[in-house]
Amino acid sequence: MSFLNSISRSTKRRLLVAPVAIAVMLVIGTLGFSTIEGRSWLDSLYLATQTVTTVGYGDVPNETAPGRAFATLFMLLGVGVVLYSLTVMAQAIVQSEVFEALNLSRKRTQMEKLSGHYIVCGAGRVGRRVIRNLQRQNEAFVVVETDQARVAEFTGVNVIIGDASSEENLIAAGVKRAKGLASCLPDDASNVYVVLTARGLNPDLHIVARAVEEQAESKLVRAGASRVIAPTIIGSQSMARALLRPAIADFMDSIVAETLDLVFEEIAVGENCPYVGKQLSETNISSGLNVIVVAIRPANGELEFHPTGDATISTGDLLIVVGKAEDVKRLIEVARK
């Protein structure tokens, strides 16, 4: 948070008035000494500066009585202006520090209340995109980043400035209560350390880690990552798909960009969901809600792609669906009862 943003509007005005007042006093002093004492403009400015800065007239005394009278009055006014300016600056600094402390305390209180949220470690090129996606989904999250300039563009975001591999910072981010963590740091060693620390603090945490080098994928999995994403591999696959199957690539890109009003979603089946115990063909998921079930992952089983109509839905199943955003939202409301 910048210094000017942390002080009140009235203090900002006084901060602008203070240097103007000093400049005005220097102009008045220069004109006065030049007119009354008959000194050169440079000597007059020198005397005015000595007065305003309370240095004194040890080397250039005033020779005339009117000059001494003017100097006396000017000293009183000049010192007053300088004291006023120093007071305003001190007030602004104290106000900024107090505001920063209160804001930090408020942010910590907010983060202590978070539960089921997400943690993003690193706000570089990858991390910033993760943050924007979480914002679009209106998800609660905390960002841990060492460089405050990288998170300056995000307003109203819970941010911890510090090392993401620090156990203290992860605890402050609520890792023990979090739903998921994305480790987006620019080097594999740091990501491995973040994953190890986070997994030790929360064994049930869903952790997605970035792999800069392909060889780091197995190390991140051993460290405790639930999923490992290698941007270079995904990028090369997308390029190959765009080269060989451009129509499919356009379709996939449209879904990711949400330009077709189609969304992929994973929906956990709740205990009171009306679909529990029914076959897929007996539900209104396809006929009534116009949502396609792409896959079903049972609570204790493997993912079943393109399930048939006789597939039975049970509590805890994870439905992978695709459909219009509004239809999928209706399905979520039914399934999570």
Report pLDDT digits (tens) over 107-124: 777 788 889 999 999 999
Give 152's pLDDT tier (boundaries 50, 70, 90): confident
Mean pLDDT to the nearest integer, 74-80: 70
Task: Report d(CA 26, CA 16) in Å as an integer.
Answer: 16
pLDDT score for 1: 47
Ranges for all domains in the chain classified under CATH 1.10.287.70: 4-111
| Per-residue pLDDT tens over the stretch 267-313 | 888 888 889 889 888 998 888 888 989 899 887 778 888 888 888 89
Q: Which CATH architecture has domain 118-229?
A: 3-Layer(aba) Sandwich (3.40)
Mean pLDDT to the nearest integer, 225-244: 89
- Tokens describing residue 248: 């499919």
pLDDT above 90 as % of the chain:
29
pLDDT score for 221: 94
Task: Report d(CA 283, CA 289) in Å as an integer.
Answer: 10
Asked if residues 270 and 334 have their Cβ atoms less than 8 Å apart, the reply is no
What are the DSSP calls for 14-44, one per residue? HHHHHHHHHHHHHHHHHHHHHHHH---HHHH
Ranges for all domains in the chain classified under CATH 3.40.50.720: 118-229
The full 3-state SS of 202-227, as one line of letters, equals CCCCEEEEECCCCCHHHHHHHHCCCE
List the one residue out of 249, 247, 187 whose CA is nearest residue 215. Answer: 187
Mean pLDDT to the nearest integer, 203-216: 92
Task: Report d(CA 211, CA 191) in Å as an integer.
Answer: 8
Q: 261-335, what's its fold? A: Alpha-Beta Plaits (3.30.70)
Asked if residues 253 and 261 have their Cβ atoms less than 8 Å apart, the reply is no
Mean pLDDT to the nearest integer, 188-213: 94
Q: Is the pLDDT of residue 23 over 60?
A: yes
What are the DSSP calls for 300-334, one per residue? TS--EES--TTPBP-TT-EEEEEEEHHHHHHHHHH
- What is the assigned CATH class of domain 4-111? mainly alpha
| Per-residue pLDDT tens over the stretch 166-183 | 999 999 999 999 999 999
What integer best gives the mean pLDDT of the chain? 82
Ranges for all domains in the chain classified under CATH 3.30.70.1450: 261-335
